[in-house]
């Protein structure tokens, strides 16, 4: 059964909407670290947080607190810039997921170009793995990206599910086929498989049978659901969807 990693970025987004200019205010809320601990108690198998270059939501201090308090595992999403790599090497999360990053985007819009970015990515992957950090590469579900990720000696690929999440009907079925082909190739290539982006309470169940799928990383939908039912219940509901697929 795939595990559930809960992405807490949007908890920090709410905080920064009011307190970005007052980062040391004792009134700054909500606390993404407190949210992470609630998610763990409700059944999350891990916590994901994206430390962006522009620090638009998660801050450096959040990552350090998460590392010391999270009891499951911390998955640090990040670009491959040297300042963020240095923080990862200092903090040593269990996992790092390398993602493309643009300051203009609202959220990550596509997968890494592992082939075109091979020369820049190779030393980053090597340094992180030498520090004992498992490395995942966030990629679109296409053959050349899977093979490039294997060549870079990543531990995981995280398959970008946005194309599937935004599709309907026959197109959604085609996207599931793409994901399955990529997942199966990843496993044959010695990679472990995670998935995420755009997954919600309606579309998650259909991809839980992907070959080798170990973890889903879901954020926006869970935090959105938490507005009406509370974070613990939102996490429990997503865990129930995953458990029902196993049964």
Question: In the chain, what are the domain boundaries?
Answer: 3-246
- 50 is an active site residue: yes
Contact yes or no for 152/118 (Cβ under 8 A) = yes
- 220 is an active site residue: no
Contact yes or no for 160/197 (Cβ under 8 A) = yes
Q: Provide the pLDDT for residue 23.
A: 87
Q: Find the DSSP H helices in the chain.
A: 9-19, 32-41, 60-69, 82-91, 118-130, 143-151, 162-165, 169-188, 220-229, 231-246
Contact yes or no for 226/220 (Cβ under 8 A) = no
Beta bridge pairs of residue 49: 76
Catalytic residue (one of 10, 57, 160, 197):
197
Residues of the chain with pLDDT under 70: 102-109, 246-247
Contact yes or no for 173/195 (Cβ under 8 A) = no
Q: Provide the pLDDT for residue 63.
A: 98
Name the class of domain 3-246: alpha beta
Q: Provide the pLDDT for residue 44.
A: 98
Q: Provide the pLDDT for residue 25.
A: 94
Catalytic residue (one of 10, 50, 57, 160):
50
- 10 is an active site residue: no
Torsion sign over Cα 170, 159, 234, 103: negative
Q: Could you give the CA distance from residue 106 to residue 86 in angstroms, rounded to a whole number?
A: 24
Biggest CA pair distance of the chain: 51
Catalytic residue (one of 77, 101, 158, 215):
77
The Cβ-side half-sphere exposure at 147, using a 13 Å CA radius, reads: 5
């Amino acid at each position: 059964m795939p595990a559930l990693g809960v992405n807490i970025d949007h908890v920090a987004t709410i905080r920064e909407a009011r307190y970005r200019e007052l980062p040391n205010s004792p009134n700054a809320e909500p606390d993404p670290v407190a949210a992470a601990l609630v998610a763990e108690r409700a059944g999350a198998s891990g916590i994901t947080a994206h430390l962006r270059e522009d620090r638009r939501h998660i801050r450096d201090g959040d990552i350090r607190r998460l590392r010391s308090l999270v009891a499951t595992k911390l998955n640090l999403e990040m670009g491959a810039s040297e300042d963020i790599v240095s923080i990862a090497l200092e903090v040593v999360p269990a996992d790092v997921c390398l993602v493309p990053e643009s300051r203009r985007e609202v959220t990550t819009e596509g997968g890494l170009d592992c082939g075109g970015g091979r020369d820049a990515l190779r030393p980053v992957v090597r340094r992180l793995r030498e520090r004992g950090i498992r490395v995942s590469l966030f990629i679109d579900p296409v053959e050349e990206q899977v093979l490039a990720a294997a060549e870079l000696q990543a531990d995981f690929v995280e398959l970008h599910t946005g194309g599937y999440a935004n599709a309907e009907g026959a197109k959604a079925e085609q996207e599931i086929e793409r994901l399955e082909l990529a997942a199966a190739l990843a496993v044959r290539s010695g990679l472990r498989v995670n998935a995420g982006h755009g997954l919600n309470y309606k579309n998650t169940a259909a991809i839980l049978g992907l070959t080798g799928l170990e973890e889903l990383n879901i954020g926006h939908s869970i935090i959105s659901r938490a507005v009406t039912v509370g974070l613990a219940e939102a996490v429990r509901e997503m865990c129930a969807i995953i458990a029902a697929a196993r049964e």
